[in-house]
Amino acid sequence: MTELTIALDAMGGDQGPDIVVTALARALSSFPRVHFILVGDEAKLNTLLQQHPQIQKSARVSLQKSTQVVAMTDKPSAVVRAKPDSSMRVALDLVHNGSAQACVSAGNTGALMAMAYLTLKTLPGVMRPALVASLPQQNGSQGLLLDLGANPSCDAETLCQFGIMGSVMAQHINAVKKPRVALLNMGTEEMKGNDIVRHAALLLKASPHVEYIGFVEGSDLFSGKADVIVCDGFTGNIALKSCEGLAELLYANLKQSFSGHTMSKWLVKLLFKRYRKSWDWLNPDQYNGASLLGLRGVVMKSHGNASANAYFSAIQHAIREAEVSLPEQIHDRIEAALLELR
């Protein structure tokens, strides 16, 4: 692997810099050829780093001072103008000027999307960037869902581009030779859905750059029927958060069912030990990290309340995308698609 540099927005998110520094300590040992730039309040970061001597001593970590912080409640439009020296903006600037190949932030999603769009711009030919995340599948693989909120409404051409970008990501990140692309709809029949979705289906079906398989329903998100599922950001955001809410409900009920009883606790430990591989596959931490596709650089959005383990997963995903030069791969495929339309 060629040497890479990843910029970390240390001040973003609900947990602050503590989890970022803890995740960085793990990333240093896991990726011996990757350099990291920790962006944020210098005094706070130096205090935290005293608890992590392996980071302080490492020649692969540098600090980049920033004087402002983007709050989770800040309005994106106001942040762009009022906080040019925020840790989020400085991390993005490092990608823009080539000092880093990717940035990771757990900060305000709207602000990150607005700043990334302003700082990095979209790839030539890309109409809109899309927020994409991995979903576990029944067959043990990983699927992709996009858009997750960057674009509440989309036209058919934009949805078609999302399908192309998602297909490229599935090939280079998930190692799927011929990714199956589907549109999320209210039914699988061709006459179902609104005009935009039906038009997008025609465009995807006619495109030689995707393996379009038709419509899928919400119940198919984890079925493994498709490697890439495309929808507008309004639909995708609701779908993803509904799944997260259900997962939290199931976990809470399971925890309550087994609490307070010695035999139940013993049974849980036995089951966990026996089926640990299955539990690890379902662990949401490993799926943390939503990528902004279509930009001239790698931008990874970590969940705002992510744990250190989850933030480490976001770093992993960012490294992988930078490693395969994902923006360049998307650019080549989009350019080929546009040439065919001329």
Domains of the chain: 1-126+294-326+333-342 (3.40.718.10), 132-284 (3.40.718.10)
CB neighbour burial string for 111-147, b if at least 16 within 10 angstroms, e if fewer = bbbbbbbebbebbebbbbbbbbbbbbbeeeebbbbbb
Strands (E), 167-270: 180-184, 211-216, 228-230
Q: How far is CA 182 from the centre of its chain?
A: 19
pLDDT by position in tens, the chain (length 342): 468 999 999 998 888 899 999 999 999 999 999 999 999 999 999 999 999 988 988 999 999 999 999 999 999 988 989 999 999 999 999 999 999 999 999 999 999 999 999 999 999 999 999 999 988 888 878 899 999 999 999 999 999 999 999 999 999 999 999 999 999 999 999 999 999 999 999 999 999 999 999 999 999 999 999 999 999 999 999 998 888 788 778 767 766 766 666 666 666 666 655 555 555 545 555 557 799 999 999 999 998 888 899 999 999 999 999 999 999 999 999 999 887 765
